[in-house]
């Protein structure tokens, strides 16, 4: 005779046999079966969104009116990417009254603005202070992280959205 989970699932080929012994199951066993069947029904939804989403909209992790201008994009193109690291001396890529974007930013520079994006040697960080709360996202560089693929401010925003998703994909998928 098979033990509980196996004997239940071995009767799946016949609905009559499956429900014939349901009164013999205890509440914990029924709860386990219920959780398994619900998970089985929800899994296709997660798989669907896994293949549909390629980027997270910027408004969900950084809210600024102007992210960057063309001069800032040109400076961003100069960041050398080698073996998943940025090897560059500290530089300010773009700055306005809302945001600071740079590489190797100091603590003083980061504290001056409500929002910043810092491209450090091994990782990149987005931080925003809003209504007394601080949201910080630190991500490692993915294989797809290539500054040379960006030519316009709109492409820069799309690039950040895609890289944010690529860095946080497992957690985003698990949240569906």
Q: Where are the beta strands (DSSP E) in the chain?
A: 81-82, 85-86, 91-95, 99-103, 115-119, 123-130, 133-140
Same domain? For 162 and 90 the reply is yes
The pLDDT assigned to 36 comes to 86
The pLDDT assigned to 3 comes to 64
Same domain? For 14 and 78 the reply is no
In this structure, the dihedral spanned by the alpha carbons of residues 22, 24, 28 and 33, taken in order and rounded to 10 degrees, is: -30
Same domain? For 74 and 43 the reply is no
Same domain? For 79 and 151 the reply is yes
Q: Which domain holds residue 145?
A: 58-174
The pLDDT assigned to 50 comes to 78
Q: What is the DSSP letter of 142?
A: P
Q: Quote the number of domains for the chain.
A: 2
The CA-atom distances, in angstroms, between 23 and each of 5, 10, 20, 30 are 15, 17, 8, 10
Same domain? For 68 and 48 the reply is no
Residue whose C-alpha is closest to residue 75's, from 154, 148, 160: 148
Same domain? For 47 and 63 the reply is no
| Of 12, 28, 52, the domain-final residue | 52
In this structure, the dihedral spanned by the alpha carbons of residues 69, 148, 128 and 87, taken in order and rounded to 10 degrees, is: -120
pLDDT in tens, 97-125: 999 999 999 999 999 999 999 999 999 99
Write a three-state SS string for 28-42: HHHHHHHHHHHHHHH
Strand order in the sheet with 99-103: 91-95, 99-103, 115-119, 123-130, 133-140
Q: What is the pTM of this model?
A: 0.72
Task: List, for the chain, all residue ranges whose pLDDT scores fall below the cut of 70.
Answer: 1-12, 15-22, 176
pLDDT in tens, 11-24: 667 766 666 666 77
The structure tokens listed for 24 are 């013999």
Same domain? For 81 and 48 the reply is no
| Of 52, 69, 88, the domain-final residue | 52
Same domain? For 134 and 62 the reply is yes
Same domain? For 120 and 161 the reply is yes
The pLDDT assigned to 5 comes to 60
The structure tokens listed for 155 are 């492409």
The pLDDT assigned to 19 comes to 63
Same domain? For 65 and 110 the reply is yes
The pLDDT assigned to 172 comes to 81
Same domain? For 84 and 105 the reply is yes
Same domain? For 105 and 87 the reply is yes
């Amino acid at each position: 005779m098979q033990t509980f989970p196996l004997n239940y699932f071995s009767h799946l080929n016949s609905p009559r046999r499956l429900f014939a012994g349901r009164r013999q199951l205890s509440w914990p066993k029924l709860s386990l079966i219920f959780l398994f069947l619900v998970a089985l029904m929800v899994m296709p939804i997660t798989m669907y969104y896994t293949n549909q989403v390629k980027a997270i909209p910027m408004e969900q992790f950084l809210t600024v009116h102007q992210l960057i201008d063309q001069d800032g994009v040109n400076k961003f193109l100069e960041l050398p990417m080698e073996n998943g690291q940025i090897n560059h001396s500290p530089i300010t890529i773009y700055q306005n009254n809302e945001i600071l974007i740079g590489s190797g930013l100091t603590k003083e520079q980061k504290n001056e603005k409500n929002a910043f994006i810092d491209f450090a040697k091994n990782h990149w960080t987005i931080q925003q202070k809003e209504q007394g709360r601080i949201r910080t996202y630190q991500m490692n560089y993915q294989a797809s992280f290539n500054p040379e693929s960006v030519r316009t401010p709109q492409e820069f925003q799309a690039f950040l959205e895609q890289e944010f998703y690529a860095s946080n994909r497992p957690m985003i998928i698990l949240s569906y």
